[in-house]
Structure 1
Amino acid sequence: MGKLVLYGIEMSPPVRATVLTLKALNIPYEFKFVNLFEEHDKEEYRRINPTGTVPALDDNGQFISDSHAINAYLVSKYGKDDSFYPKDLVKRAAVDQLLHYDTGVVFERTLRYIARPIFLENKTNIPQYKIDMIVEVYETVNNFLKDKPYVVGNHLTIADFSLISSISTLQVYLVSDPIKYPNLVAWIKRLEQLPYYEEANGKPGKKAEEMIRAKNIKIVP
């Protein structure tokens, strides 16, 4: 195995999803912090990842970006088996569906849609309709978890890693109700019991939550 280098910001949900994958696969790696708020660092980083987003992975000179692509790559290349990203096309399609859902809905329409104005524009009033979007996510994922412990079945996959990193961050805006979303809440608790969860997602997620709460956000009609 060549030297793996992960570029990112520890508090970023997509970065945390990749760290969860690396920890689950027990792959050693080096972490390099990328300060996307510094223009010089941002421009330097674009030479590695032209989109300027985190994370990016350097696998012995081969650069891969986007957490979903990175995680699938890591399992395919370094996994002892295919349980985290099945080779069976039907099972893989189920995982891919949730990865696309995380990209296009959970992260893009909720997390980024809320966080970007807070941190880049200092807008601390969150319209209620954005919170309603989080409700839709909770309802959808709760339905995906009906009668199964993980989002695509009986086995943990990279879809769980991507979704938990995003949804655990959404909790700062709207805590999931165990009565309304019993499957979702049970799934969160189940993933929190993973031996590497706290290091990979728990602690950095709490730091992100502290930064958000420090902004004194308010939900407005």
Structure 2
Amino acid sequence: MIKLYGTSMSRAARSLWALEEVGVKYEHVPVGFTGELRKPEYLRINPNGHMPALDDSGTFLWESMAINLYIAEKYGKAPLWPSTVEAHGACYQWSFWGMTEVESTLLEIFLNQMQPAEQRDAKVAQAGVEKLKTPLKVLDDHLQKSDYLLGKEFTIADLNVASVMSLAPLIQLDLSTTPTAQQWLQKCLARPANQRAVAMK
């Protein structure tokens, strides 16, 4: 039995989305942001004390991107998990790109909007907006060639990058200069599997 630990208000949301996409039976175990993450029983699953964590009948995984790629490879079918090694490489590429080129900057902007007013730094937030222009143009240029990241079909690469980009609407990031990427993101986030995932606790 698969168990996914974490709240949909964290990176666990992308793993819940992946589980919903593949349609496998699983148990969602909500975990709070406070003391639950430091309890010994949770640290045995994820010694880092972060969300999410996956228990697949005794196989334990942490790091949301690793969890998602594992879910897609083990339980997904084409096109979600493509059939060629070359396409697998593209899935890894875009998944890691989302983490290294986009996510940390989006989080920086998000925190500067959500923190108490006296702790916010408008200059840092604006610098983040400027910094994102380059990777967002890379994404937009690529998507002008195809409907999804790997072609005509939605794959785990789209899910992983869209899950990172899901912060953009929350911080009201202006994506009008990258309209193809904006439309792609809206299309991905509107998928029923994602809607079910974000509705969880």
Fold-level match, TM-score > 0.5?
Answer: yes
Post-superposition offset of 1:119:
5.4
Q: Which residue of 1 aligns with 2:87?
A: 91
Listed as ranges, the gaps of 5+ residues in structure 1 are 208-221
User: Aligned letter for 1:18?
Assistant: S
User: Aligned letter for 1:31?
Assistant: H
What does 1:61-100 correspond to in 2, within 5 Å? 61-79=58-76, 81-100=77-96
Measured in 1, the distance between the counterparts of 2:180 and 2:152 equals 14
Whether the 8 Å CA contact 1:138–1:176 is kept in 2: the answer is no
Q: Figure out how many residues of one structure are paired with residues of the other and give that number.
A: 197
SS in 2 for 1:27: coil
Confirm whether residue 151 of structure 1 aligns to residue 146 of structure 2: no
Of 3, 8, 11, the match for 1:10: 8
Whether the 8 Å CA contact 1:17–1:67 is kept in 2: the answer is yes
Post-superposition offset of 1:96:
0.8
Of 56, 63, 86, the match for 2:53: 56
What does 1:95-174 correspond to in 2, within 5 Å? 95-107=91-103, 109-115=104-110, 118=114, 123-126=119-122, 127=124, 128-174=126-172
Q: Which residue of 2 aligns with 1:32?
A: 29
**TM-score, structure 1 as length reference:** 0.78
Residues 90-111 of structure 1, C-alpha deviations (whole Å, 9 max, x = no match): 111111110111122222x213
Measured in 1, the distance between the counterparts of 2:17 and 2:143 equals 20
**CA-atom RMSD, angstroms?**
2.5
Measured in 2, the distance between the counterparts of 1:46 and 1:105 equals 29
SS in 2 for 1:171: helix
SS in 2 for 1:70: helix
Cα 1:175–1:119 shift into 2, 3 Å: closer
Whether the 8 Å CA contact 2:3–2:55 is kept in 1: the answer is yes
Listed as ranges, the gaps of 5+ residues in structure 2 are none
Q: Which residue of 1 aligns with 2:184?
A: 187
Task: Tell me the percent identity.
Answer: 27
Whether the 8 Å CA contact 1:142–1:184 is kept in 2: the answer is yes
Measured in 2, the distance between the counterparts of 1:116 and 1:175 equals 13
Post-superposition offset of 1:71:
1.4
Whether the 8 Å CA contact 1:134–1:174 is kept in 2: the answer is no
SS in 1 for 2:166: helix
SS in 2 for 1:58: strand
Measured in 2, the distance between the counterparts of 1:43 and 1:134 equals 37
User: Aligned letter for 1:135?
Assistant: K
Measured in 1, the distance between the counterparts of 2:39 and 2:120 equals 28
